[in-house]
Structure 1
Amino acid sequence: MKSVGIQYLEAYRRLKKAGKKNFKRTVYFLFAADEEIGGPVMEKFVKTKEFEELNVGFNLDEGEASENDVYSISYGEKNPWWMQVKISGSPGHGSLFIENDVGTKLKNFLDIVYAFRQEQKEKLENSNGKLTLGDVVTLNVTKIGGGVQVNVVPDQFIIEVDIRIPPAIVSSFENTVKEWMSQAGEGITYTFTQHAITSSTTPITDEDPYWKVFSNTLRDMDCKFKTQIDCGSTDSRFLRAIGIRAIGFSPIINTMDLAHDHNEFLEEKMFLRGVEIYEKLIENLSNIPPEVDA
């Protein structure tokens, strides 16, 4: 989120201008490429010697905009599984009833996965607000391809599915995927172009020094907030996977969530209020004694 990156830099500029720069910790600003296609750069970077030498203790990343007056704080996020499914069958002429045809198998598969999707949707809707999108599995078929010409039954369809899985159930979820394939019929295989398995979350109790400072800073600034599992994916998952605390937070409230939509916008007063919040967060988090990591 470009607005968050700009707010980081403006907050630090203000701190530096005010002479507040001798923090107990080093502050790094990292802009990594290709987060929207799965974060391959960050995934590799956290495994390098250069990253290890940064000695990172805590990470702030983008979060979600809120449409009411309560800020959303993400202490974990769902795991993206981008699945390619190949459905193979018998080819033939379009004028015949072809047995073992891919169209029937495609319908069977879609019926199965969309029945699961509906179950998850109803689970969320019937929770009386106790659950968020981060607590259920979301699933969408995003691409369907295949066929040669209109009068030829093809021997294969390829579909792509975007699945997002909460940390608490990700380790066993592939059993569900295998069950879908078995129910849909023979000749159906799957591979993953993205297959994150991270069950790690960041502590959100006052026993954790980072969370205590983070949450108290927001309270001191009269910010109402709620904690949640992020329904999307950020590069923070790669840090959590190696034991580094990471919080997703965008200081945006009373704003329509138009991420990836047309005419996405942020009001000026909301942007500037966010800068003020980051000023205090950066200052307070950067003055946590390094000894707490010992």
Structure 2
Amino acid sequence: TQEIETLREYIRLSTTRQDDFSPAVDFFKRLGAEQGIEVTVFEANPNDPIVIMKWPGQDPSLQSIVILSHIDVNSACYEDGWTYPPFSGAINDNCEIVGRGTQAQKSVTIQHYEALRQLKQNNVTLLRTVYIIATTDQTTGSNGIKHFVQTKTFQDMNVGFTLGIGGPTDQQEISLFNRFKTQYVIRLDCYGVSGSSAVYPNSTAADFCGSVLKAYNKYREGQYKLSLRTRDSGDYTAINYIGGRTIIEYGMIPAHLAAYYVADLALNTTVEDFIEIVRGWIMGAGGNIKPSSVYKEEGGSYYTRTDDSNPYYVAIQEAFNELCIPFRILTTPSTTDTTSIVKAGIPAFGLTPIRNTQVLVNGVNERLPLTTYFEGLRIVKEIVTRLANIPEDKVADDPSTYLQSDKCNKYSN
């Protein structure tokens, strides 16, 4: 079907951060031209285009709806153990689409497009203008959307609400995200004695890095056990070692080693709290170790209301009720482009309409059952229809009315 073939074509476009995004931009321009829809491209930074597709509503003076996703995906290599090439969009014997982005987040982008295409094809009237926005740098920090929300281009869109991306789940309930964790990347530079690799010198950089690694593993194990007792990622810190750096010379023990750790912090843990934890690891190691911040994206001090005072939440709730699909309000496992939208004073939820599915985001053999893909399309179509048809008198003039200070988050004022 067209819905499947459009997704397969999109998956075949390699859109890692090392790639040229021009073919993907041309892909969206072609889709827009086929539907007679205006497509514009905002260049946030060199090779960081933001694609904007405008689906006009009946009353363009009303606050618009944005459905937000991203084009960029994490790297994937066939030699890592993929059954099919990761950018092939193959369909396996279990009727699953295989490829990078099938779960995060190319399938969602095409569901956004297909939902609006089908509504237009069926002559369904939408009261409010809907914008599809697709960014290209979420995997490396979301700087594009941070800049874009400050521009006149974005202000002129008169956005009242944004439906961004979330994450898939292996549970029966769809995950609807309204809080955002802080992501922090720290580098530890370990210094020690250098010497020949044929002897056993004491107090090497590897010795000190190894001591830190033991403390890290103990902390990580505790947080992992905590994660097993809750479904909300806001209750625990997810931390992982993501690599090191040194120059390899086979005959020499290096005097310097660097190690990188990424942490998505629990809502009750600030960056300052986490740095104190790391300092404890360093003191325990007893060596010359220097920590430095590499990247920080705070989750923010506000979240979108999930009660009857918020007409956007009510519309989403009614959509799920109509489809007889359960959902649960959760905290995102990490920051997303949607974080910047909320920081700009606009209510937003994150939603990836994938449930009852093995979670393989950024993993080998990432794949999506076709039945799940089509269910997600029905969900998006029902939600967008209801969001875009909320009457004018049901919505406050100030979108931030539907944001609430997060008293559970230590970043709150």
Q: TM-score, normalised by structure 2?
A: 0.65
Please say if residues 147 and 156 of structure 1, whose CA atoms lie closer than 8 Å, have aligned partners that are also in contact: no
Between 1:183-192 and 1:207-216, the stretch displaced more is 183-192
Alpha-carbon distance in 1 for matches of 2:116, 2:129: 12
Please say if residues 299 and 335 of structure 2, whose CA atoms lie closer than 8 Å, have aligned partners that are also in contact: no
Which structure's relative contact order is higher, taking Cα pairs within 8 Å and 6+ residues apart? 1
In the alignment, structure 1 residue 7 sits paired with structure 2 residue 93: no
Instruction: Report the secondary structure of 2:262's partner residue.
Output: strand
Instruction: Report the secondary structure of 2:304's partner residue.
Output: coil
Instruction: Report the secondary structure of 1:275's partner residue.
Output: helix
Instruction: Report the secondary structure of 1:201's partner residue.
Output: strand
Offset of 1:202 from its aligned partner?
A: 2.1
Q: Which residue number corresponds to residue 272 of structure 1?
A: 374
Alpha-carbon distance in 1 for matches of 2:247, 2:281: 23
Identical aligned residues as a percent: 24
Relative distance call for 1:54 and 1:109 in structure 2 (3 A) is: same
Alpha-carbon distance in 1 for matches of 2:352, 2:339: 16
Instruction: Report the secondary structure of 1:238's partner residue.
Output: helix
Instruction: Report the secondary structure of 1:226's partner residue.
Output: strand
Alpha-carbon distance in 2 for matches of 1:148, 1:254: 45
User: AA paired with 2:140?
Assistant: I
**Alignment counterpart, residue 49 of structure 1, candidates 149, 152, 163:** 152
Between 1:151-160 and 1:196-205, the stretch displaced more is 196-205
Q: Which residue number corresponds to residue 123 of structure 2?
A: 19
Relative distance call for 1:168 and 1:210 in structure 2 (3 A) is: farther
User: AA paired with 2:259?
Assistant: I
Q: Which residue number corresponds to residue 180 of structure 1?
A: 281
Alpha-carbon distance in 1 for matches of 2:359, 2:313: 26
Offset of 1:97 from its aligned partner?
A: 4.8
Alpha-carbon distance in 1 for matches of 2:285, 2:152: 46
User: AA paired with 1:254?
Assistant: N
Q: Deviations over 1:96-138 (max 9, x none)?
A: 554442121111111111111111112223x2xx443442111
Q: Which residue number corresponds to residue 327 of structure 2?
A: 225
Offset of 1:151 from its aligned partner?
A: 3.3
User: AA paired with 2:116?
Assistant: Y
Offset of 1:252 from its aligned partner?
A: 1.6
Alpha-carbon distance in 1 for matches of 2:298, 2:388: 30
The residue correspondences of 1:203-214 to structure 2 (distance < 5 A) are: 203-214=305-316
Q: Which residue number corresponds to residue 241 of structure 1?
A: 343
User: AA paired with 1:293?
Assistant: D
Between 1:221-230 and 1:197-206, the stretch displaced more is 197-206
Please list every run of 5 or more consecutive structure 1 residues that lacks an aligned counterpart in the other structure: none
Please say if residues 71 and 225 of structure 1, whose CA atoms lie closer than 8 Å, have aligned partners that are also in contact: yes
Relative distance call for 1:244 and 1:104 in structure 2 (3 A) is: same
Name the structure with the higher strand share. 2
User: AA paired with 1:271?
Assistant: Y
Offset of 1:82 from its aligned partner?
A: 2.1
Structure 1 segments of 4 or more deviating over 6 A?
Answer: none
Alpha-carbon distance in 1 for matches of 2:167, 2:126: 31
- Paired residues in the alignment total 290
